[in-house]
Amino acid sequence: MRTLALCLAAVLAPLVVGAQTRPVTVDDVLALRVVGNAPAISPDGRAVLFTVRQWVDSGGGKKDARTSIWRAPADASTPARQITFGERGETQPDWSPDGRFMSFVASRGRDAKAQVWVLRADGGEARPLTSADENVQAYAWSPDSRRLAYTVADAATADDKSAVERRDDERPFERPAPNVHLWVVEVATGATSRVTSGEAFTIQGALSWSSDNARVAFAAGASALLRDGRRDIYVADVVAKTTEKISTNFGPDVNPRFSPDGRLIAYLATPNTAPAIADGTPKGTVGQQHVMVYDTTSKATRDATGQLVVDPGEPRWSADGTRILFAAGTRAWNEIWSLEIATGRATQVTKGRTLQLGSFSTDGTKAAVVLDTPTAPPDVHVADASFTTFTKVSDVNPQAAQFALGASEVITWKSRDGLEVEGILLKPVGYDAAKRYPLLVVAHGGPAGAYVDNYRVGGLEGGQLWAGQGWAVFYPNPRGSTNYGEKFLRANVADWGGGDFKDIDAGVDALIARGIADKDKLAHVGWSYGGYMTAWTITQTKRYKAAMVGAGLTNMWSMYGTNDIPSTLQGYFGGIASKETLPLYVNRSAMTHIDNVTTPTLILHGASDERVPVGQAQELFRGLKDRGKTTELVFYPREGHGFTEYYHLQDRLNRIHDWVTRFVSGDAPPASRQ
């Protein structure tokens, strides 16, 4: 095996931190509170609202995930505190622009729908502001704080409800869901008015008001089907009840945001010039989003992307309206970027940070962000306008100070064709350079995703859970990943299982060559596209002693016809499944090469997964079982593509651990799990 050069990036996390006393456990992973990614700073910049999700006992041994609203002073002068305590939780905290009210979405009462609730910023009891027949999905305050726009799906008819109650509830495949429309409520009186209606579109995502309090911008799809990429930007006049479509791109246009003076609307667009498929929906494409700017006076739209090389996140206008700021994946980090509208000049504002951007104070001098590091879990911080100073205002997981953590490194290596590839290496706790360690390879989902150098207690496999048990964990970002530019993103189009597999394989070679990984103690796991990569890998090499295929795509031909987003596969496999594209769909399927597998393979899948249907797991299991291979298939009731139930998450962590250590190290699982 040839030796590959392995270059270390400059950013290294310390080997240990603080007063660590013990390795991370499965219970620790599940006990971590999760801070929401959209903290809201008050208009005057003095306080921050944010969400915290945690598991709570709900009786009979059952555990439910509950999200609550917390508040913290922006100067961290006093500890953050929980301010809502509803039995079903609260989400979407915000402030009225005049700073007098706080608001959130909650379902309170038996069988109640989710409504917008408001309470005074100085305290008191919350009251429901909306009384929609269905759940409120998104909302936004008008600049004058007198009204609130919100979206809600059209209510089912009395006949439809009666049919469901008597179980006359057949469901035609791809039957359109009720459309989502725009409403406005008066804060003082509670009077509501409907702004949009009809079958022309269904609203998706956030809302943005114009500065004159007269218009609301939103993105809307031509249908509610996930595979239908026709999404456009609309502007509704809330008084005249008229709506105008302002975008013309055939692909998805999302996240509109009015400029502070109301003259411009920034939004994100994924260009699509490919012809529609026969049913009129766009053929899937692979590419980065562009920043578009629409002039409400001239009604002209221009591409303001300019020199930007990253895939932009949700846009935020600077207070003076000259720049757009956003968070974007940037190699192994998630950074703040600034884009000058007039010149297209793009500037990376932060360096070596992993953060999520919330909101700005009215004057733009402060921003609420969620920040984490390899040694500190996510918490809310308040940044200055230059994003050079960060004040930590929450500490929702103080118990994390007890964890012994392995060091994290950003590493690069050369792939088989010379392409430079990057990833994250998590070293074992107490790493000794004179020793080799078992290596767990974790392939990410997507494929348009990427690992960043962040806090690794949690996730699919648990991260530091393995480092505490003497394992190295490898998180590669092969070609096809985001964060490295559009050329890299598109590098696995028509090449799933080709260059991406070789990138990961070369990374493992590099870790062996460096003396970190034990070549005889390798395991490979992944979920979704990571599950695809794991299934593909075990048909291409016998080097892994154990594998876990989670929600994995195993037969691309049958996958195309049974999943809910076939347009994604169109973009990677040359179009719809047809005689012309059949060779690629079939050749890049693990099932085509199933005879090559020798690796003991655990298969995990949500029983209600429509993204990667259960047949993909069944085909792999049957193919392995009929050939006498070591395999096990586990379905998790009620779970979709992502898991949401406590005991299923717990079982997945334990089951992956037990399977991998059994076949790599010869360890027997605890008696309680045998």
pLDDT the model gives residue 390: 98
pLDDT at 591 > cutoff 70 = yes
Percentage of residues in the chain having pLDDT higher than 90: 91
Please name every residue paired with 413 in a beta bridge, in sequence order, or none if there are none: 6, 421
Count of CB atoms situated within 10 Å of the CB of 30 = 17
Looking at residue 448, the DSSP 8-state letter turns out to be S
pLDDT-derived band of residue 160, with 50, 70 and 90 as boundaries?
A: confident
Res. 671 pLDDT band, cuts 50 70 90: low
Q: Is the pLDDT of residue 398 over 50?
A: yes
What domains can you pick out in the chain, each with its CATH number?
Answer: 6-12+400-666 (3.40.50.1820)
Instruction: Report pLDDT for 158.
Output: 83
* pLDDT on residue 12: 34
Average pLDDT over residues 30-37: 97
Average pLDDT of the segment spanning 421-445: 98
- Report whether pLDDT(9) > 80: no
Helix (H) or strand (E) holding 603: strand 601-606
With 0-12 / 13-18 / 19 or more C-beta atoms within 10 angstroms meaning exposed / middle / buried, residue 146 is middle
How much is the pTM? 0.94
Single out the residue of 184, 180, 199 nearest to residue 149, CA to CA.
184
Q: What does the pLDDT average to over 378-398?
A: 98
Cα R_g (the chain), whole angstroms: 25
Match 């979405």 to its residue by tokens.
105
| C-alpha span between 448 and 445 (Å, rounded) | 7
Where does the pLDDT of residue 673 fall: very low under 50, low under 70, confident under 90, or very high at 90 and above? low
Q: Which residues pair with 127 in a beta bridge?
A: 118
Mean pLDDT of 460-479: 97
Note whether 487 and 443 are within 8 A (CB).
no
pLDDT digits (tens, 9 = 90+) for 199-233: 999 999 999 999 999 999 999 999 999 999 999 99
Average pLDDT over residues 592-602: 98
What mean pLDDT is predicted for residues 456-468? 96
pLDDT digits (tens, 9 = 90+) for 612-638: 999 999 999 999 999 999 999 999 999
Per-residue pLDDT, 74: 98
Q: Residue 575 pLDDT > 50, yes or no?
A: yes
Adjacency order of strands within the sheet including 472-477: 6-12, 408-414, 420-426, 472-477, 437-443, 517-527, 546-550, 601-606, 631-636
Report the pLDDT value the prediction gives residue 169, as an integer from 0 to 100: 85
Q: Which residue has the higher pLDDT, 527 or 10?
A: 527
| pLDDT above 50 for 551 | yes
Write the CA distances from 106 to 93, 118, 185, 290, 358, integer angstroms: 10, 10, 17, 34, 20
What pLDDT does residue 162 have?
85
Q: Which residue, among 530, 592, 527, 529, has the nearest Cα to 557 in the 3D structure?
A: 592
Q: Which amino acid is at 344?
A: G
Q: List pLDDT tens digits, range 248-291.
A: 999 999 999 999 999 999 999 999 988 899 999 999 999 999 99
- How far is Cα 605 from Cα 548, in angstroms, rounded to an integer? 11
Q: Report the distance separating Cα 471 and Cα 522, nearest Å.
A: 10
The mean pLDDT value for 326-344 works out to 96
Higher pLDDT, 51 or 109: 51
Banded model confidence at residue 4, pLDDT cuts 50, 70, 90: very low
Provide, for the chain, the percentages of residues in helix, strand and coil under a 3-state DSSP scheme, each rounded to the nearest 5: 20, 35, 45
Identify the band that residue 674 occupies on the pLDDT scale cut at 50, 70 and 90.
low
The fraction of the chain above a pLDDT of 70, given in percent, is: 96
What pLDDT digit, counting tens, does each position of 95-139 carry? 999 999 999 999 998 889 999 999 999 988 999 999 999 999 999
- Residue 496 confidence class, pLDDT cut points 50, 70, 90: very high
CA distance 451 to 490: 17
The whole-angstrom separation of Cα 269 and Cα 292 is 7
Q: How far apart are CA 367 and CA 361, in angstroms?
A: 6
Asked whether the predicted pLDDT for residue 20 surpasses 60, the reply is no
| pLDDT tops 50 at residue 532 | yes
- CA atoms in the 13 A half-sphere facing the CB of 23: 16
Strand partners, 147: 186
Q: Which of 10-14, 42-46, 266-270, 355-359 has the lowest mean pLDDT?
A: 10-14
